[in-house]
């Protein structure tokens, strides 16, 4: 049977469900939790999506294709969304790039990370028919509105996913410029979307694909990219990949005064220096007065967990804001931007903030 959408509920019922007099139904989340028991696709406030296809891309990578409910407003190629997974009562949200330009459906592609429980559980549990909760599409890693004549796309490992969506978008538009796509993976067998990319390149003169296999060529670096794409300085560059690779490219472009033409998506914190021993700072949590120690290269979320606390969190990479908390005093550094702040009584995100002095948190 085709699932009913909340939009199909009669207006009076929707109005009644939203009534402030109906406690606890005035809380949209509570309403959604009730509706979900009747039909997992029903929701007034959340985006729910049914999995309609699961594809194996490589031995450890799967693509999940979803049909979202009417709350999904579509996406622009290159954007990502947060997928919610509940494990042992803990709700976690992870950001995944949308791997196709098709905006009616959404698909995301997940590599099973060693030691990462969330991706392993996604591979094991998500099947055709499963219903997931996701955020709306977000993020500014999208093609420039004025399409550049020459593009360089650097997609290493699962970083290829947003670039694949952008390529599909350009192909659909009939882009006739010049794209060099560097596709990096450990071996040929690990290359995500290898068949899709060769099929596109076979019929589309604008696209030239270059493979980089780290098992034989070593890790991709600024120098190795510059050697294979000598006119890189004339190309608008879009990049997504592991933190170390991206940092090396960011620095290479900055040293040559080319930062403005480099556009990238970072899912995770930039590589950090090892913490020197003896540098730990004290964090005091009010009103419990609990104390924990934080190293200068450690996020406050990691430090709090190491200190036996369990702060609320989701994505752990600064996107969902679940870990937001009030800093009452002290100095912190934003690990993504490097910005430092000493202001009292400000909201910080624990997962992307590190202590730069002893701190007092409302945790
Ligand atoms: S856990 Fe998502 S922003 Fe910190």
Q: Is the pLDDT of residue 4 over 50?
A: no
Q: Is 316 in the pocket of ligand 1 (CB under 6 A)?
A: yes
The pTM of the full predicted model, rounded to 2 decimals, is 0.77
Cα separation, 328 vs 292, in Å, equals 16
Structural contact between residues 85 and 121, judged by C-beta atoms closer than 8 angstroms:
yes
Of residues 115 and 118, the one with the higher pLDDT is 118
Go through the chain and tell me how many residues it has: 363
Work out which ligand 1 atom sits closest to the CA atom of 320.
Answer: 2
Give how far Cα 166 sits from Cα of 147, 153, 171, 267, Å. 11, 10, 9, 17
Of residues 266 and 128, the one with the higher pLDDT is 128
Q: What is the pLDDT of residue 10?
A: 64
Q: How far does residue 12's CA lie from ligand 1's centre (Å)?
A: 37
pLDDT band at 92 (very low <50, low <70, confident <90, very high): confident
Q: Is the pLDDT of residue 213 over 80?
A: yes
Q: What is the pLDDT of residue 339?
A: 87
Q: What is the pLDDT of residue 314?
A: 81
DSSP labels for 299-348? -HHHHHHHTT-----SSSSSSS-TTEEEEEES-EEETTT--EE--SSEEE
Q: How far does residue 262's CA lie from ligand 1's centre (Å)?
A: 26
Q: What average pLDDT does this structure show over 68-79?
A: 92
| Residue pointed to by tokens 């030691």 | 115
The bridge status of strand 359-362 relative to strand 281-286 is parallel
Q: What average pLDDT does this structure show over 272-280?
A: 61
Work out which ligand 1 atom sits closest to the CA atom of 314.
Answer: 1
pLDDT band at 113 (very low <50, low <70, confident <90, very high): confident
Q: Is the pLDDT of residue 297 over 90?
A: no
Cα separation, 244 vs 272, in Å, equals 10
Give how far Cα 98 sits from Cα of 55, 149, 182, 311, Å. 15, 24, 19, 29
Q: What is the pLDDT of residue 268?
A: 66
Q: What is the pLDDT of residue 1?
A: 37
Mean pLDDT of the chain: 87
Q: Is 125 in the pocket of ligand 1 (CB under 6 A)?
A: no
Q: Is 95 in the pocket of ligand 1 (CB under 6 A)?
A: no
Q: What is the pLDDT of residues 12-54, one digit of tens each?
A: 666 665 665 555 555 666 677 777 777 777 777 789 999 999 9
Work out which ligand 1 atom sits closest to the CA atom of 318.
Answer: 3
Share above pLDDT 70 across residues of the chain, in percent, rounded to a whole number: 86
């Amino acid at each position: 049977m085709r699932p009913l959408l909340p939009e199909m509920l009669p207006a009076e019922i929707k109005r009644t469900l939203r009534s402030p007099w109906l406690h606890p139904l005035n809380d949209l989340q509570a309403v959604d939790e009730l509706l979900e028991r009747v039909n997992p696709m029903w929701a007034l406030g959340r985006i729910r999506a049914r999995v309609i296809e699961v594809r194996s891309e490589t031995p450890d990578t799967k693509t999940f294709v979803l049909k979202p409910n009417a709350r999904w407003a579509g996406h622009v190629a290159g954007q990502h969304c947060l997928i919610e997974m509940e494990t042992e009562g803990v709700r976690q949200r992870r950001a995944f790039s949308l791997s196709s330009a098709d905006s009616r459906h959404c698909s995301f592609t997940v590599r099973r990370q060693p030691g990462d429980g969330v991706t392993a559980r996604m591979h094991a549990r998500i099947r055709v028919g499963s219903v997931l909760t996701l955020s709306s599409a977000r993020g500014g890693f999208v093609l420039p509105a004025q399409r550049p004549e020459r593009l360089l796309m650097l997609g290493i490992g699962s970083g290829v996913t947003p670039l694949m969506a952008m390529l599909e978008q350009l192909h659909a538009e009939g882009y006739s410029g010049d794209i060099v796509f560097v596709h990096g993976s450990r071996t040929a067998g690990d290359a995500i979307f290898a068949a899709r990319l060769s099929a596109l390149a076979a019929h589309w003169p604008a696209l030239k694909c270059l493979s980089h296999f780290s098992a034989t060529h070593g890790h991709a670096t600024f120098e190795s990219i510059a050697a294979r794409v000598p006119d890189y300085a004339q190309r608008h560059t879009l990049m997504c990949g592991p933190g170390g690779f991206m940092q090396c490219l960011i620095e290479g472009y900055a040293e040559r005064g080319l930062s403005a033409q480099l556009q990238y998506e970072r899912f995770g914190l930039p590589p950090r220096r090892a913490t020197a021993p003896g540098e730990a700072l004290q964090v005091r949590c009010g009103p419990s007065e609990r104390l924990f120690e934080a190293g200068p290269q450690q996020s406050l979320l990691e430090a709090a967990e190491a200190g036996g606390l369990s702060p609320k969190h989701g994505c752990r990479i600064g996107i969902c804001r679940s870990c937001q908390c009030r800093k009452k005093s002290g100095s912190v550094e934003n690990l993504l931007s490097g910005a430092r702040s000493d202001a009292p009584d400000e909201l910080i995100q624990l997962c992307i903030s590190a202590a730069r002095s002893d701190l007092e948190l409302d945790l």
